[in-house]
Amino acid sequence: MKKLVGPFTQILPLSGLPLKGAIADDHLQIILNAGVLVEGGVIVKVGDFEELRKVNGEAEIEEITGQQVLLPGFADCHTHLCFAGDRSKDYALRIAGKSYLEIAKSGGGIWDSVTQTRQASKNELAELLLQRIGRHAKDGVTTIEIKSGYGLKIEEEIKQLCAIQLAAASSTVDLITTCLAAHILPKDFNGPASEYLEYVLNNLLPKIKKDNLASRVDIFIEESAFNVSNATCYLQVAKQMGFDVTVHADQFTTGGSEVAINVGAVSADHLEASGEKEIKLIAASNTVAVALPGASIGLGMDFAPARKLLNAGASLAIASDWNPGSAPMGDLLMQASVLSAYEKLTTAEVFAGLTFRAAKALNLHDRGLLENGKLADFQSYPCGDYREILYHQGKLKPGKVWKKGKEIL
């Protein structure tokens, strides 16, 4: 049965905006006193509420009262939500002046989270994950990418991926799983990085593919993780196996984004260290640039050059990088609002980066826009003007959230 949701003071469908490059706010379509017609979890039409009600007299009405602005649901295309424990000790050291790499070399960093996550059961990880998913859903995030990478052993990576699958069974939003077994070289692996990656390719990825535990593969290219040569070979084989590939790229040093482009990765994420060369290469490619402002805030470092990437013609998504170490806050809208202030991003560019461009970074084409045939994933904010959403820098939260046309908040 059809359902008509509305009327909304404003609906911003984000239709007709480009997948790449800069976007001026005057390109935003704004539909006043509008509604959304939904059937079978999919949008049938967006338009004037009263006209839709007249033409669809049989439709169930879900009436909206007061001033409300409607946006597509957000897609957080880069998170590490499946973990146990915290890294508050790391944070205290960092704000006292220690660098990320110094902390990692002294026994903190990612390996600390690996140790704590290995100690948790699958059910415990799933329960912790559901709590974080619930908070994200309340903030209007209707699609969440979640990485493994705190197991770094075959059985431990499988445990993490199964925990994500277990959480997905009772989640109100969509979870997209990524294998990040190539997060760092495990301290308990007896061999060089090249042998570890071969071990993952031969023993883990075939099982993941067989059991449908993940559709994507990621790798961290950095001094503390894996080099360009090893990562290139690893991603090429993973892609041949049928996985989409993505890269933790250019966070502290460059090289990773070029690998991402050369192997045809769906996205290159981080990019804080990217310079003019990398920006031009990314802009000329079909690889989505994913800015992670939460990591910049958590580490006290520069943001990804979002303005330059957009001006060069890149497709820019914005994600939270929610993780226990460098980005523990996890508030996607607040982070995007702060990034927009520092990098001078238009409202249209921020909304695009949180919705259909973020969906593109996940190779998803059925969401992120409010138009016929797209998933009925949307969120409403208690205000009369869409510009208030970023103006409040993340403090204005959605009043209602819908997933596939069903209200979840």
378 in the same domain as 252: no
Domain boundary among 324, 341, 361: 361
**Domain CATH code at residue 171:** 3.20.20.140
Mean pLDDT on 295-307? 97
294 in the same domain as 373: no
344 in the same domain as 197: yes
- Alpha helices (runs of H) in 139-204, residue ranges in sequence order: 154-170, 193-203
pLDDT value of position 358: 99
175 in the same domain as 121: yes
pLDDT value of position 364: 98
**What is the C-alpha separation between 6 and 149, in angstroms, rounded?**
42
For residues 15-52, one letter each, b for 16 or more C-beta atoms within 10 angstroms of the residue's C-beta and e for the rest, the string is bebeebbbbeeeebeebeebbbbbeeeebbbbbebeeb
Angle, CA of 136, 138 and 139, to the nearest 5°: 65
DSSP strand pairing (3-11 vs 31-39): antiparallel
pLDDT value of position 223: 87
For the chain, what is the domain count? Answer: 2
Tell me the per-residue pLDDT of 353-401, one tens digit each, with 9 for 90 and over.
999 999 999 999 999 999 999 999 999 999 999 999 999 999 999 999 9
Query: Residue 9 belongs to what domain range?
Result: 3-72+369-407
172 in the same domain as 93: yes
**Domain CATH code at residue 29:** 2.30.40.10
**What is the C-alpha separation between 207 and 270, in angstroms, rounded?**
29
Mean pLDDT on 321-332? 97
pLDDT value of position 99: 86
252 in the same domain as 161: yes
Tell me the per-residue pLDDT of 76-135, one tens digit each, with 9 for 90 and over.
999 999 999 999 999 999 999 998 778 888 888 999 999 999 999 999 999 999 999 999
pTM, 2 dp = 0.98
The count of other CB atoms within 10 Å of the CB of residue 96 is 7
Question: For residue 341, with 0-12 CB atoms within 10 Å meaning exposed, 13-18 middle and 19 or more buried, which class applies?
Answer: exposed
